[in-house]
Amino acid sequence: MRQVALVGAGMTRFGKHVDRSMKDLAREAIEGALQSAGVTTQDIEAAAVGNAVAGLITGQECIRGQVVLRELGIGGIPVINTENACASSSTAFHLAWLYVASGMYDVVLALGMEKLFHPDKQRTFEAIGSAIDLELADTFAREMSGEQSAGAGQSRSVFMDYYANLARQHMQRYDTTQEQFARIAAKNHTNGSLNPHAQYQTKRSVEDVLAAPLIADPLTRMMCSPIGDGAAAVLVTTADKARQLTTRPVYVKASTLGSSNKQAVDSPGIVPSVALKAYEQAGLGPDDVQVIEAHDATAPAELLVYEELSLCQAGEGGKLIDDGVTQLGGRCPVNPSGGLLAKGHPVGATGVAQICEIFWQLRGEAGERQVPGAKVGLTENGGGVLDGENAVASVHVFSV
């Protein structure tokens, strides 16, 4: 396998873009990636395009990537469409990495894009809610929301109830507090205030987060990721070619992808399993990682990821946030971009957007949110739910 590197990244600001098409959003992201890499569309030999719910929101099915890329003059090459819930574009990146690592192509585009806003908000919630086993949808909703079921899947995503359930279990088992979840949300909203690409750019305090309307106990609105539109793109190439294009390539040390499997209750879940493979592939451990972009669909989700990535032991996620380890200035900042909570979560774009942030962090291009001296970064992206855990998970490790 060849060594793989990133040479360019671009993304839109995430948010409510009702007057912009997915083609327009993708164009901005791709042009940004091309400009930062110093290459043209003619240099792209293949493309992997991640999108989750365009078929349900806009009606565009089957050839989403081809439709979008053709508008930019990118055609005549292999275009692979990946649909894998919230991990759709991290899956696209995994394929782009594999294309280059295998020697099949030298320059590959990985693109993530999504339009979630729709005049009928219930249509959006139903689209997001399709990332479960629909034959068990009623059972899933009852188990996740219990007595709070009113509004689940209608006035809010059913996944908020899923995460609320996980949060309550963690609180009961480890004495984790709502304030610790609020501390994560305040951290990410404050980080987002430093990010021009973020959907929300307002600094928030723990008190602000706790005072926000309750969505599903113990989650307040500011602990939940918003609906959004947007696109993100990166250019993947060989290490040799990268060194010809830039003096600051970012190397891909590991790219892993996995799906949930029926297993014993006490077995490691999908995220710890995929993370372990990534660490082994990279030849690094959690103590070597200096900056992380994690899948904080809710604040409790980030706390659980601390433990799943072995940043701490099970039950110690609350202490990690209390000690300031994961905030800017801490030992290992998590979600300096603002994460899904503040940067936003247009689901099909999220995975590549995380990679964009790590690319900028490792190149020292992250502005006010820069993690000083960061040399090793990691992204963790999950999607869907099966049997009480992510249906799909990906972990990528990068270094300079």
Residues serving a catalytic function are: 86, 345
Cβ–Cβ < 8 Å for 97, 252? yes
Beta-carbon neighbour count of residue 375 at 10 Å?
A: 14
**H helices of 246-393, where?**
270-282, 299-308, 317-322, 339-342, 347-362
Single-letter residue type at 313: Q
Beta-carbon neighbour count of residue 268 at 10 Å?
A: 13
Peptide bond into 226 cis (omega under 30): no
Going by their DSSP bridges, the two strands 389-399 and 250-259 should be labelled as antiparallel
Element (H, E) at 180: helix 178-192
Instruction: Could you list the beta-strand ranges (E) of the chain.
Output: 4-11, 46-50, 79-82, 107-114, 214-216, 219-220, 230-238, 250-259, 291-293, 376-386, 389-399
Burial of 287 (0-12, 13-18, 19+ CB in 10 A): exposed
Per DSSP, 229 falls in state B
Beta-carbon neighbour count of residue 313 at 10 Å?
A: 11
Those residues whose C-beta lies under 8 Å from the C-beta of residue 185, and which sit 6 or more positions away, are 204, 209, 220, 222, 223, 299, 341
Lookup: tokens for 337? 């971009």
Q: Which residues pair with residue 11 across a beta bridge?
A: 232
Closest by CA position to 270, among listed 50, 87, 81? 87
Lookup: tokens for 72? 């930019």
Going by their DSSP bridges, the two strands 46-50 and 107-114 should be labelled as parallel
Query: How far, in Å, are 107, 139, 289, 300, 352 from residue 99 at the CA level?
Result: 9, 40, 26, 35, 16
Three-state DSSP at 269 gives coil
